Structure formats: C-alpha cells, structure tokens
Amino acid sequence: MAAPRIGFAYDLTGDGKTALRGGFGIFYNRVDGNEVYALSGQAPYSYNPQVNYATFAQIAASGNNLVFGPSTINSWPPGQLPWDRAHNASLNIQRTLTRTTVLDVGYTGNWGYNQLLGLQAATGYDINPIPIGTRAPFNPANADPTNGNRTLPDVLLRTVYPGFNTINTYGHFGHTNYNALTVSVQQRYSHGLAFGLAYTLSKAMGLTSYNPVVPNNDAWNYGRLGIDRRHNFQLNYSYELPNLGKRAGSKILGAVVDHWTLSGIVSAQSGAPFNPGFSITSGTPDYTGTPDVSARINVIGDPTKNVPTGSAFNVTAFAPPAIGTNITTPVLGNLGGGAGVLSYPKVVNTDATMSKFIPFHERLGLKLQVQAYNVFNHPEFVGAGTTLSFDPAGNQTSLTAGVFNQTLPARVLAFSVRFEF
C-alpha cells in the first residue's frame, strides 16, 4: 500500500538542455504473517513433561528446564501495531553535453521506519529474558549449593513471567537509512559506439535486530546493513568494429573482418561487510550470565593493518573478552553491531561478448558469438574464516581465521551459433 508519490521536473536554463528532476514517496507494508502463524494451535496451552530413564540426581545435574515449564511459546505484541513504512526521495540534475551524450548527477535517499525485527526473523524476541549477569557465578545468590554450586535452571531465573521459559513476540523497532550520491553518463549509439557509465557513493545503515537485555539496543545493534557497498562503479559498452573490407571494396577481406561487435560490462564495487566472532577450544564459557545475549570479541588493535598475504584481516587485532566472576555486569566485548565493521576486498569483474554476423540476405544470416565471464580470470575473494579460536589462556589456536575461503566463479567461456531472420 502506498501514498501518491510526488514528482517534478524543471528546465533550469530554458534551452531544454538542463533539467532538475525530483520526487518523494511514502510506502506502507502489510503486517507480517509470521506474527500470526506462530500462534496457530497454541491456545489452550497444555504442558506435560516426560523424563525417561533418569534419576532425580541426574535431572538436577543436567539443569534440564523441561521439568519446570514450557520451553517456548509465542505471544502477540501488546497495543496497536505501528505501520511499517518507507520513505524515499531523489533529486537529479541532468545535462545534455552533446547530441548523443547526457550527464546525470543526483542524490537518492531511502528511510525505513517501524520495521519488524527480533532476535530471529521468524520467532521475534524474548519478552521473558534473563537479565545480564543473572546466572551464577556472576550472581552467587543464584548458585545451587545442592548441585555443586552450578547456576539454577534458567526457568527459575526469569522474573517477568515466572514459571515460563522463552516467550517470543515481535517488535516494530527497526529503522534503516540509505543515502547515495549518483553520477552517470549515457552515450547513445553514434559512430558504432554506445556506452553507459555509472558511479554510486553510498552508505546503508540500520537497526535490524532487537535484544531486550542490553542497556541500549541502538548502541548495541545499529550498524552497516548487509547491502552496504560504499563504492559501486559500472560500465557497459557496445562497439561495432569498422567494416574494413567494405571500405576497401573487398568481399574476401570483408568476410573475415566485417560485421564484428564487441560488447561487455565492467564492474567494480566495495566488498561486503562482516564481523569476526570467537570460540574457546575447551567450550565457550558463560560470558554474559544470560542465554539472551552473546559476548562479542574485543578489538585490541587495527585489523586492517599488517594483514598477512591471503588473509582478510589481521587476527592479532582481536582477543576474547575478559571473564568476570562474582560480578553483576559481565564484560561483553566491544565489536560493533550491524552486518559488520570490516569489509571483504573490492570486487572487480569484466564480462565481454564478441560476435560476428554473416549476412546471407539483408537481415537474414548467421551469428557467431563468444561470451566470456570474468575475462581476466582474476580471483575475487568474497568469503573468509571469521571465527577466531582461543584456548582458555587467551592464545589463538585457529588456523583458518582470516584466511580467504570463497571466491566468485573463475572464467567461464560460452560459444554459440544462431540463425537470425
């Protein structure tokens, strides 16, 4: 559902060669069906736990929450849901440079409001969370002296709705923003050549997840979107090679060198964002005192400096967060939110097509074509090991962290023969 979009165009110079164009629109989205589907068949809720082949001591030692309350249920958000909406705007100046060439410089913006989000897109977020630092040993009061001072089962630590475990709901708290400067040059077909050149300098940021236990959700989760590519350059072209045989009046020469067309696309853009994570070789300890938020790795240096050959980042710039005991606010790490604060290398790709038309009569003829994707067969790295492993003493043990492990496809050649009429 959308409100009418407003647009305008104005001749700045009065000669029809320079135009100012712009527009603004507001668009609304419908309520996501996932909010309703999860409630199907849930009420009235019946819970009958069963534990087989175990003693009471074994149940206590395992901390099994199944004997205390329902594992997961779903709820409908309280109150009236706000409209999930998006605003977009554009403003461009277009100038005719020659009879066949047009320059366009502009701004494009897009803003999202009240977007549906949660810890998981399909399940929402937990409205019955365990606050940070609740589990033992962060809070000694929640240690069970009858069970080796292990922390009490999670269901006993939830205070919003006692007796229940996770209760998923949805929140329309998400917001995004995209701002871009665009430049393009279009050359219409002239003297056998046509091309288009476009460059975009942009930034895509947003809040795409919600966690009820962190002190400031925006500060914890706001960051770059997965689509964020700061620089994006595209060039497309088509060029009909001169018919030298026809010019020389030689049909034999023309059969070889005439009716050739070279076309292709050259693209270059910034790499995708990513964030490194971590694990402990002996089993990642409880860093936060709650299952509702995970600790982030600490940044102790510049991950973009002194990067080894074949790696995406400097792994020595990271360390696991400190593990605190008998404290109420654990150290969670300081790596930022969003899709990532680091970027994979830029991606540069060239695709080209060489074709020859062999005419039989007017437009009747045979077309020979060779297509090449990734013409120069250059490796374009788009993935790397992002999980750093540490031993309990904080020493790195991973051999694959930072190492490139994924590329775009290598060169692909395709040949075709086509009869055209």
Residue (of 299, 301, 306) closest to 275 by Cα position: 299
- For the stretch 23-35, pLDDT in tens is 999 998 877 666 6
What's the pLDDT score for residue 414?
94
Do 211 and 221 touch, CB atoms closer than 8 A? yes
Distances (CA, A) of 62 to 65, 138, 284: 9, 20, 18
Judged against a pLDDT cut of 80, whether residue 42 lies above it is answered with no
Is the same domain home to 104 and 156? no
Higher pLDDT, 15 or 170: 15
Q: Is residue 301 part of a domain?
A: yes
Q: Is residue 124 part of a domain?
A: no
Q: Is residue 1 part of a domain?
A: no
Give percent of the chain above pLDDT 70: 89
Judged against a pLDDT cut of 60, whether residue 66 lies above it is answered with no
Do 235 and 266 touch, CB atoms closer than 8 A? yes
Is the same domain home to 70 and 183? no
Q: Is residue 309 part of a domain?
A: yes
Q: Is residue 35 part of a domain?
A: no
Is the same domain home to 215 and 325? yes
DSSP annotation of 338 = T
Do 347 and 408 touch, CB atoms closer than 8 A? yes
Residue (of 230, 175, 222) closest to 201 by Cα position: 230
Is the same domain home to 253 and 338? yes
Cα distance between residue 69 and residue 400, in whole Å: 41
Reduced to 3 states, what is the DSSP secondary structure of residue 9? strand
Is the same domain home to 158 and 269? no
Domains held by the chain: number: 2
Is the same domain home to 246 and 343? yes
Query: pLDDT band at 230, cuts 50/70/90?
Result: very high
Is the same domain home to 154 and 240? no
Cα distance between residue 122 and residue 176, in whole Å: 19
Q: Is residue 412 part of a domain?
A: yes
Is the same domain home to 157 and 223? no
- For the stretch 4-16, pLDDT in tens is 678 888 888 888 8
Residue 298's contacts (CB-CB under 8 Å, 6 or more residues apart) are 318, 319, 320, 321, 333, 334, 335
Is the same domain home to 234 and 139? no
Query: pLDDT band at 282, cuts 50/70/90?
Result: confident
Structure tokens at 399: 């051999």
Is the same domain home to 378 and 247? yes
Cα Rg, the chain, nearest whole Å: 30
DSSP annotation of 334 = -
Do 274 and 386 touch, CB atoms closer than 8 A? yes
Of 137, 164, 191, at which residue does a domain stop? Answer: 164
What's the pLDDT score for residue 4?
62
Q: Is residue 34 part of a domain?
A: no
User: Which residue range is the domain that position 133 belongs to?
Assistant: 40-74+129-164
Judged against a pLDDT cut of 80, whether residue 46 lies above it is answered with no
Is the same domain home to 203 and 330? yes
- For the stretch 285-342, pLDDT in tens is 888 889 888 889 999 999 999 999 989 999 999 998 877 655 667 878 888 889 999 9
Q: What is the pTM of this model?
A: 0.85
- For the stretch 114-159, pLDDT in tens is 988 754 445 578 889 999 989 988 888 999 888 788 888 888 898 8
Is the same domain home to 176 and 219? yes
Cα distance between residue 293 and residue 318, in whole Å: 20
- For the stretch 216-227, pLDDT in tens is 999 999 999 999
Bond preceding residue 308 cis, omega within 30 of 0: no
Q: Is residue 294 part of a domain?
A: yes
What's the pLDDT score for residue 119?
43
Cα distance between residue 136 and residue 156, in whole Å: 12
